[in-house]
Amino acid sequence: MSRLAGKVALVTGAGRNIGRDIARRLAADGATVAVNGPDPDEAAAAAADLPHGAYAVPADVSDAEAVRAMVAAVLDRSGRLDVLVNNAAVPMTGRGDLFDLDPADWDRAFAVNARGVFLCAVAAARVMRPGSSIVTISSIGATRAHRRAVAYDATKGAVEAATRAIALELAPRGIRVNAVAPGAIANDRFAALDPAAQRARAAPVPLGRVGTGADVAAAVSFLASADADYVTGQVLTVDGGLSVQARPPGTDPVLDTAPTEGQQT
């Protein structure tokens, strides 16, 4: 595939899990990928696996100066920036009972998951040309609450609101801004579960399986490409149907009697 041939893409949080799969897909689609992550060695290792001269740009996305330096490094190295994927997040920070949530964890979650999106989007948009694209990774938690994940879900609600508002701000510049909201996606934590626990995670999903990073990456590639030239301010859900159902499997009421002739069902 070559839908992103000649493009330069910056993917934050691309050292592992979904971010690494997104970087791999954009590179396969022809883009030169700048791999961001907070760990320089991890980012460099991820970049080394990619074609088209991929390289690492480590930075903490919650640090405004570090973000400016990161984008400047991409311009110095590649001369342009066409695609930004805001993927970096701290998904496990602040997880637990509401009454035990440390305000410092709440602040850290917002610093990376929401502030980082804002900082990276603004820094990238300053140098992007018309026809460029920003894609942010949200979560179904933005609109469907997870238990024991108040801080995480709140950040993703903020991300989706920001996606719509930033899309309006950048539309006159010809820059599109969208988001992808994954559901249950396999990652290193999922891989560490025993098979029974993995099956339990997949059970509520209508399509019958947990998603993969590649599933999310395919949606990102679409939104980043010219195939989505008339799409902006939108959230594309990638969850196997998890969030569309009124009740999970096994909890729908069962009719005790069959309908009589002529009765609607």
Q: Could you tell me if residue 106 is inside a domain? A: yes
pLDDT of residue 43: 98
CA distances from 236 to 75, 87, 137, 158 (A): 29, 14, 10, 16
Residue 128: is it exposed, middle or buried by C-beta count within 10 angstroms (0-12/13-18/19+)?
buried
Closest CA to 22 of 210, 207, 180: 180
With respect to residue 69, please indicate whether it lies within any of the assigned structural domains: yes
In a domain, residue 139? The reply is yes
Q: Give the list of residues 6+ apart from residue 190 with CB closer than 8 angstroms, or none.
A: 198, 201, 210
Which residues are CB-contacts of 59 (< 8 A; sequence separation ≥ 6)? 36, 38, 66, 67, 69, 70
Is residue 209 included in any domain, yes or no? yes
Quote the pLDDT of residue 128: 98
* Nearest residue to 136 via CA among 107, 92, 96, 176: 176
Are 185 and 216 in contact by the 8 Å Cβ rule? The answer is: yes
Across the chain, which has 265 residues, the per-10-residue mean pLDDT values are: 92 97 98 98 98 97 98 98 98 96 98 98 98 98 96 98 98 98 92 91 95 98 98 98 91 59 51
In this structure, are residues 165 and 158 in contact, taking their beta carbons and an 8 Å threshold? Answer: no
Residues classed as catalytic: 152
Q: What amino acid is encoded at 96 in this protein?
A: G
Q: For residue 13, give the 3-state DSSP assignment.
A: coil
User: For position 144, which CATH number holds?
Assistant: 3.40.50.720
Domain that holds residue 154: 8-244
Residue 264 is predicted with a pLDDT of 53
Whether 258 is covered by a domain: the verdict is no
Please tell me the total count of domains within the chain.
1
- In this structure, is residue 255 part of a structural domain? no
Q: Are 238 and 211 in contact (CB under 8 A)?
A: yes
**Residue 1 in domain:** no
Contact 233, 160 (CB under 8 A): no
Cβ pair 54, 11 in contact under 8 A: no
CA distances for 60 relative to 57, 66, 67, angstroms: 10, 6, 7
In the prediction, which pLDDT does 255 show?
A: 47
Among candidate residues 241, 220, 215, 239, the one with its CA nearest the CA of residue 231:
220
* Residue 260 belongs to some domain of the structure: no
SS3 77: helix
